[in-house]
Chain A
Amino acid sequence: MAPARLTLDGLTKAYGDLPVLDDVSFEVGHGEFVAVVGPSGCGKSTLFDVVAGLEPPDGGRVLVDGIDVSGRTDAFAYMPQQDLLFPWRTVLDNTTLGLEVAGMRRREARERARPLFVEFGLAGFEGARPGELSGGMRQRAALLRTVVQERPVLLLDEPFGALDALTRADLQLWLSGVRARFDWTVVLVTHDIREAVFLADRVVVLGPRPTSVRQEVSVELPRPRDLSTITDPVFARAEAELLGALVR
């Protein structure tokens, strides 16, 4: 059997005397969309920092396609909670930042990012400054900056957490649609159960700190998903199962 795209193998991490991750293990398949939910303060962000290679694990390994990438950043494209678009760059040049860091010429990087602007609903805003974009557009630009790096795994850390409910629903619908047209492997951290069920193929439930995987719930909903998905009985069952696992 081919190794999973991403394998978390017994990750542990402590800050001083405070254990945060206690043997976290799960797998993500090729092209799979996995959501990670957990009570607030359980260590979701720490888990992401460890997986993304920003913090070394105390124990355990992170594997991509069977290769140990623990402490390495180059297998992951990371989207933090804030959009972090820089006002001194145009929207286009914000989206090419990762490519430039990787040493690509600016012109080449722009040619790589530009075609994605239509799909991301940003056409015509290439030369705009981030301050001229709406909240939803800023978040889409941040996601564009993430995916254009073409890393094997996308790590999205509560990307819609700071948005109002309508914009958020709008972006969830959009992401569900756009994701179907690309072959992305995604790990999404969220504390919104409905968001997790709507977007993910599988939801990993973390326990309170020091955290470990408490349960995995498969979301057997057909794709593409749209507004009718949320009235599907399967949706309600998955939501109830997750809520039960979280408050147990």
Chain B
Amino acid sequence: MTEPRTVQAPDSSSRGSVVEPGALRGPQHGGFAALRPQQSHHADVPRRPAEPPAVGARGVRRALAAVLPSLVLVAVGLIAWQWFVTASGVRPQVLPSPLRVAEQGWAAREQIWANTLPTLQVTAVGFAVSLAIGWAVAIAIDFSPWLRRALTPLLVASQTLPIIAIAPLLIIWFGFGLLPKVVVIALVTFFPVAVGLIEGFASTPPAATNLLRSMGASRWQRFRLVRLPQAMPSFFTALRIGITYAVTGAIFAEYVGATAGLGIYMSLQKNSFRTDLVLAAVVVTAVLSVTLFALTFVVERLVIPWHRRA
């Protein structure tokens, strides 16, 4: 499974590309750059409004510049791989060349696509269920100290379940349909979502709570007006971790038993020694994950446009 750390790395790099254009200009001012914030503070002038979100040709170029290093790295890796396969004469059942993976994958594209849709569907349904549970649990915990004490150990315990041992049992209990896969995805993803929200709510400064109380705000008003928006940045970070787990969770659940999907497809191809098609399906999975991951940034910008500008 993907580590949270590797999940967050693109986050911080793309954040840098959005927020730091001003900072990039700093060095041009030479030694004065360090003095500037102090000066503007003394003069007490309004801060320069943040740059509008990157759009148009400049935005595209900036986005390309951001992903260029990883593209170069991937290209180098592929060339080395191709060279190794050709030079060593290793059998394709053991290690197919990248060109062969691409060719065979393309030839099997209809089959792969037919298996991608069920995986996408399972991921979407499972993650939606997981989000619903995560939100419900987090809100309940935020409102009730008693529930916090009651649920927190259970939340942690749910993460110690060995999914690899539970998943086959789920198939036995619930069959080859949607339900066991939804359960697996919910089990692996609701925890980061719930924790992200709980910590987001709790990150509300006590002084803000007091301010709202001094205005006569009810507990519900404090939640709606401060704690909820306060938790949004933390929620979107959790969402990014969760969505990548959701795809791998779906693949894993299908691998154990399904009628269709990339997971069962990989399992079947492996059994017939079609390593090239297994790898082709892996590539599709990776593209799927990265696309969903990128989508969270779009949703974030739509839902909390204030965050990255602030």
Contacts and interface: CB of A to CB of B under 8 A. Distances in A.
Interface of A: 49, 52-54, 73-74, 76-78, 80-82, 84, 86-88, 97-98, 100-102, 125, 128-137, 149, 164, 166-167, 170
A8 B188 CA distance: 56
B215 A167 contact: no
A167 B214 contact: no
Contacts, number: 92
B217 A86 contact: no
Contacts of B41: 134-135, 164, 167
A133 B47 contact: yes
Interface stretch (B73-81, B148-156, B178-186, B221-229): B221-229
B20 to A, nearest CB: 15
B213 A88 contact: no
A49 B207 CA distance: 11
10 contacts: A73-B213, A76-B214, A88-B229, A97-B215, A129-B306, A131-B50, A132-B47, A166-B42, A167-B41, A167-B44
Given A78-B211, A129-B309, A134 B217 contact: no
Given A53-B214, A73-B216, A164-B42, A84 B306 contact: no
Contact of A132 (B46, B208, B232): B46
B5 to A, nearest CB: 27
A97 B225 contact: yes
Contacts of B43: 166
B49 interface: yes
A125 B40 CA distance: 18
Q: Tell me whether chain B's interface is mostly helix, strand or loop, or mixed.
A: helix
Interface of B: 40-50, 205, 207-208, 210-217, 221, 225-226, 229, 232, 304, 306-307, 309-310
A74 B49 CA distance: 36
A134 B49 CA distance: 11
A246 to B, nearest CB: 26
Nearest to A167: B44
A80 to B, nearest CB: 5
Contact of A88 (B46, B211, B214, B304): B304
B225 A101 contact: yes
Interface centre among A53, A54, A88, A135 (most CB of B within 10 A): A88
A131 B211 contact: no
Contacts of A170: 44
Contacts of A82: 205, 207
A136 B44 contact: yes
A131 B59 CA distance: 23
Contacts of A53: 214
A239 B205 CA distance: 35
Interface centre among B211, B217, B225, B304 (most CB of A within 10 A): B211
